[in-house]
Amino acid sequence: MVRAAGDVGNCLSNGLYLMKNQKVNSEPSELARPGSLEEELLHQLDLGRLPSHIAIIMDGNGRWARKRRLPRVAGHRAGIKSVRETVEVCARLGLQALTLYAFSQENWKRPRAEVDTLMGLLKEYIQKELDTLMRNNIRFKVIGRIGDLAGSVRSELTRAEEATAANTGLLFNIALSYGGRAEIVDACRSLLRSGQDPDDLTEELFGKRLYTAGCPDPDLMVRTSGEIRVSNFLLWQIAYAEIHVTETLWPDFRRRHIFEALLDFQNRERRYGGLAPDEDAVEPPAAIRG
């Protein structure tokens, strides 16, 4: 259900305030069990200042499995539960977009059996989740060099994209055979083919050639499992994103971790190279001005 705030903010049943025009597609009790740690975190969040777009590098599946003496693919399978919960929470929070990094171009170097399992999980995910995506008004989109994927995987992905194309809620991008540099090269190829005049090219026009055209840039990028790297993910789009790294391994990632990432995001001061609004634009002393 979509709830919109009134003119001066709207106090929900458990005391959460929505800012003017903020829409949350859920009752807070659907986002967190009353009395839970999750509810406590949710209370601290300003629901009027959520990011529009969260991008996530899902990492640590192998380590999760190794800790349990299980094969690596068991970690990928367990990671599906985290995917489901993350999509659900982002949709309920009313975010505009979520992008998950599911398979990079570099991941083709993994053993054949692991690649096949990942592709199988992807097909299984769509077969099981398409109804839920539809019920929740979620639009599903694949970004990456889709042509690299096997025909049977491509046709499942296309089926999900077509079925959800008219949905107007959360845009759920899944990055497959994706590389940030490859995306930039693909955008350049597309511009060159169209005969773009170099002198007329702007950042805005360039953005329209990226796989994410029409989608706001991520305001928040999350990486699980403690690695502090960007790993060729959305290189153009994360120019001003806040980065949140959690030690939690992807298969253990739950709504609590999303709320923690959002709180971290809300505690950052976003200046885009400018000054904070309360900072006086003090003239430097003459000696420094020269």
By CB under 6 A, name the binding residues for ligand FPP.
58-63, 76, 79-80, 83, 100, 102, 107, 118, 121-122, 125, 174, 250
The least distance separating ligand FPP from the CB of residue 225, rounded to whole angstroms, comes to: 6
Catalytic site residue 137?
no
The least distance separating ligand FPP from the CB of residue 114, rounded to whole angstroms, comes to: 8
Q: How far is CA 238 from the centre of its chain?
A: 11
115 vs 263 by CB, closer to ligand FPP: 115
- Cα 40 to Cα 12, 173, 213: the distances in Å are 15, 29, 36
**Identity of the residue numbered 11:** C
209 vs 253 by CB, closer to ligand FPP: 253
Q: Which of 10, 107, 137, 232 is catalytic?
A: 107
56 vs 262 by CB, closer to ligand FPP: 56
Taking 3-state DSSP, the helix, strand and coil percentages for the chain, each rounded to the nearest 5, stand at 45, 15, 40
- Cα 280 to Cα 270, 276, 287: the distances in Å are 16, 9, 19
Q: Which of 7, 10, 14, 59 is catalytic?
A: 59
Task: Find the helix packing angle between 255-266 and 37-44, rounded to 10°.
Answer: 20
Q: Which residue is nearest to ligand FPP (CB)?
A: 62
Yes or no: say if 244 and 261 are a contact pair by the CB < 8 Å rule.
yes
**Identity of the residue numbered 237:** Q
209 vs 244 by CB, closer to ligand FPP: 244
The least distance separating ligand FPP from the CB of residue 230, rounded to whole angstroms, comes to: 14
Q: For strand 17-18 and strand 10-11, is the pairing parallel, antiparallel, or unpaired?
A: antiparallel
Which one-letter DSSP state was computed for residue 45?
A: S
Counting other chains too, the contacts that 129-134 makes at CB distance below 8 Å and 24 or more residues apart are: 129/84, 129/87, 130/159, 130/160, 130/163, 130/164, 132/88, 133/87, 133/160, 133/163, 133/164, 133/167, 133/172, 134/163, 134/164, 134/167
63 vs 254 by CB, closer to ligand FPP: 63
28 vs 251 by CB, closer to ligand FPP: 251
The least distance separating ligand FPP from the CB of residue 170, rounded to whole angstroms, comes to: 14
Yes or no: say if 93 and 50 are a contact pair by the CB < 8 Å rule.
yes
Catalytic site residue 107?
yes
The least distance separating ligand FPP from the CB of residue 205, rounded to whole angstroms, comes to: 31
**CA pair distance 88, 74, nearest whole angstrom:** 22
Q: Which residues are catalytic?
A: 59, 107
